[in-house]
């Protein structure tokens, strides 16, 4: 006996196989956790949007002198890098200010003045929040390892920002407006195409009787 499922714009004929027994459903849920995750364009929308915006951000490897000066301002020594926020040892540099805000490049980049030693915990906890605001929030938590140094850290980070050029000025004052607009328009087109692809992909999946 044929069973019909109504899709958004078409009717798909599927062969009815009868109700799935309860125990099979429970087993299928358990098995689902073993499967590769289904590919959803919507799930990648924000990372693609971010990648596009970040692609217009400045990138420059600091000179040795600049790198050493940055560490000097932060009161650190090169062989013992510590997270600028919580003071834990770290071997990575992160962005002090977000490269992307509201899907658009901020002008901040991977450049001296916007690079500081940051541990992965502080990096992921802070996300895109402005550093000064985030630091003030952390200051209310007396159990947080960086609690005692908030005032000193704020002072040093402010000095760092004053010492090196603010790249946002380049974005707002030197990038030709028509070039910036073309960038935004193309980014919007890509996002619109992703949404259309998502809808079409979901329709195609439905022909297989597949779960979305
Ligand atoms: Zn940290």
Strand partners, 105: 100
Structure tokens at 142: 């007396």
Q: How far is the CA of 102 from the centre of ligand 1 (A)?
A: 25
Structure tokens at 149: 């140094």
pLDDT 10s digits, 145-199:
888 899 999 999 999 999 998 888 888 888 999 999 999 999 999 999 999 999 9
CB-side neighbour CA atoms (13 Å) of 9: 5
Q: Residue 92 above 70 pLDDT? A: yes
Q: How far is the CA of 54 from the centre of ligand 1 (A)?
A: 23
Q: Per-residue confidence at 212, pLDDT binned at 50, 70, 90?
A: low
Q: Cα(60)–Cα(115) distance, rounded to whole angstroms? A: 11
Contact (CB, 8 A) for 38 and 212: yes
Q: Residue ranges per domain, the chain?
A: 57-173, 176-212
The pTM assigned to this predicted structure is 0.74
Q: How far is the CA of 32 from the centre of ligand 1 (A)?
A: 36
pLDDT 10s digits, 165-180:
888 888 888 899 999 9
Q: Per-residue confidence at 211, pLDDT binned at 50, 70, 90?
A: low
Contact (CB, 8 A) for 145 and 88: yes
Work out the mean pLDDT of the chain and round it to a whole number: 85
Mean pLDDT of 42-57: 88
Q: How far is the CA of 119 from the centre of ligand 1 (A)?
A: 4
């Amino acid at each position: 006996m044929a069973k019909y499922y109504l899709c958004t714009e078409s009717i798909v004929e599927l062969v009815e196989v009868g109700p799935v027994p309860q125990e099979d459903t429970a087993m299928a849920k358990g098995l689902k956790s073993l499967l590769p995750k289904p590919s959803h364009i919507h799930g990648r929308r924000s990372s693609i949007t971010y990648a596009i915006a970040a692609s217009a951000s400045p990138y420059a490897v600091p000179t040795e002198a600049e790198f050493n000066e940055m560490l000097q301002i932060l009161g650190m020594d090169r062989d013992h890098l510590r997270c600028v926020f919580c003071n834990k040892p770290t071997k990575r540099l992160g962005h002090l200010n977000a490269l992307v805000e509201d899907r658009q490049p901020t002008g901040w980049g991977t450049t001296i003045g916007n690079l500081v030693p940051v541990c992965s915990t502080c990096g992921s906890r802070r996300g895109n929040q402005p550093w000064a605001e985030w630091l003030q929030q952390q200051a209310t938590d007396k159990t947080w390892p960086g609690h005692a140094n908030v005032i000193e850290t704020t002072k040093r980070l402010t000095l760092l920002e004053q010492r090196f050029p603010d790249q946002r000025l380049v974005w707002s004052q030197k990038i030709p407006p028509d070039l910036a607009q073309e960038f935004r328009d193309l980014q919007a087109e890509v996002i619109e195409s992703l949404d259309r692809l998502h809808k079409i992909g979901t329709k195609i999946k439905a022909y297989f009787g597949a779960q979305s």
